[in-house]
Amino acid sequence: MKLLFVADPLENFKTYKDTTFSMMRETAARGHTLLACETRHMRWRRGEPVTASAREIVLTGDVHDWFRTVTEHAALPLRDTDGVLMRKDPPFDSEFFYATHLLEQAERDGARVVNKPSALRDHPEKLAIMEFPQFIGPTLVTRSEADIRAFHAEYRDIILKPLDGMGGMGIFRVGPDGLNLGSITETLNAGGTQTVMVQKYLTEITQGDKRVLVIGGKAVPFSLARIPQGSEIRGNLAVGGKGVAQPLSARDHEIAAGIGPVLAARGLLLAGLDVIGDSLTEINVTSPTGFQEISQQSGFDVAAMFVDALEAALP
């Protein structure tokens, strides 16, 4: 197959941990052709299919100069590939949103896109959990400072976070004393103009914020527990959390079995469920990661499972 990866600049990849690289390595090992572009390289001209200036690459096996460009395509119609993998990292900003529209038009042209562009738009990563109340802890989505104060009064120890944050950005904890609750609320809701998510603080975070990968509706048998270090309350690897692969718990399996098939039916071949203790906290669909850390520590080949599902989805 000829596969186009829509991703961040290849030159910036940290190949020792990058999930998109592990996907490329597995697809190349199976004889598939690799193409790559960035979202800024796509264009849609009146009366024409969506195209991209893309490059065909081969992997070199070198740690630093890990790829070599074979061919440059000035205007490759996305429909002329066998599959397009949307792997642009967050943030989910206006440009990401517009890119999903171009990719959706490419689907109308005849392209096959993973994850499905409309599903990316329909599942904002923090809000998406609200569809599954049986799996989440006490959670509130609001702009109202009064609502936030009432939630704090009820649960005493809470987490506040912006809906568009990533990598642990903008996450605050407010304990029973309510210290700085007003200031934090004003910062996050911008005076009542922006929506905030508020959740009960889950003490199980000390054992890790688990990333449960779901591929083709089925759970990878190991999660990546991202464990906060030192005085940090966040387990995100981007802020220094320690990643530890571990077998899924019975509750992890229950959550994945309840949500995975639903997401797969909507065109989300790959999703990352974030679980603290027994509670789902986020559903990541834009560019879920963790393949290499799980594979290196557990011996389970996550990339192989993914490419198996990809090949089945793109016959």
Clarify whether 126 is annotated catalytic. yes
Task: Choose, from 115, 189, 236, 284, the residue flagged as catalytic.
Answer: 284
How far, in Å, CA of 171 to CA of 188, rounded?
9
Clarify whether 284 is annotated catalytic. yes
Clarify whether 282 is annotated catalytic. yes
Clarify whether 55 is annotated catalytic. no
How far, in Å, CA of 300 to CA of 291, rounded?
9
Clarify whether 210 is annotated catalytic. no
Task: Choose, from 126, 209, 210, 293, the residue flagged as catalytic.
Answer: 126
Task: Choose, from 88, 112, 200, 234, the residue flagged as catalytic.
Answer: 234
Clarify whether 2 is annotated catalytic. no
What the block records as the tokens of 149 is 């104060």
Closest CA to 287 of 302, 299, 271: 271
φ and ψ of 16, to 5 deg: -70, -15
Q: DSSP labels for 122-185?
A: H--TTGGGGG-GGGB-SEEEES-HHHHHHHHHHHSSEEEEETT--TTTT-EEE-TT-TTHHHHH
C-beta of residue 278 within 8 angstroms of C-beta of residue 253: no
Task: Choose, from 161, 200, 236, 293, the residue flagged as catalytic.
Answer: 161
Look at the block and give the residue holding tokens 């990563």.
125
Task: Choose, from 226, 236, 252, 293, the residue flagged as catalytic.
Answer: 226
Beta strand 158-162 with 196-200 is antiparallel
- Residues taking part in catalysis: 126, 161, 211, 226, 234, 274, 282, 284
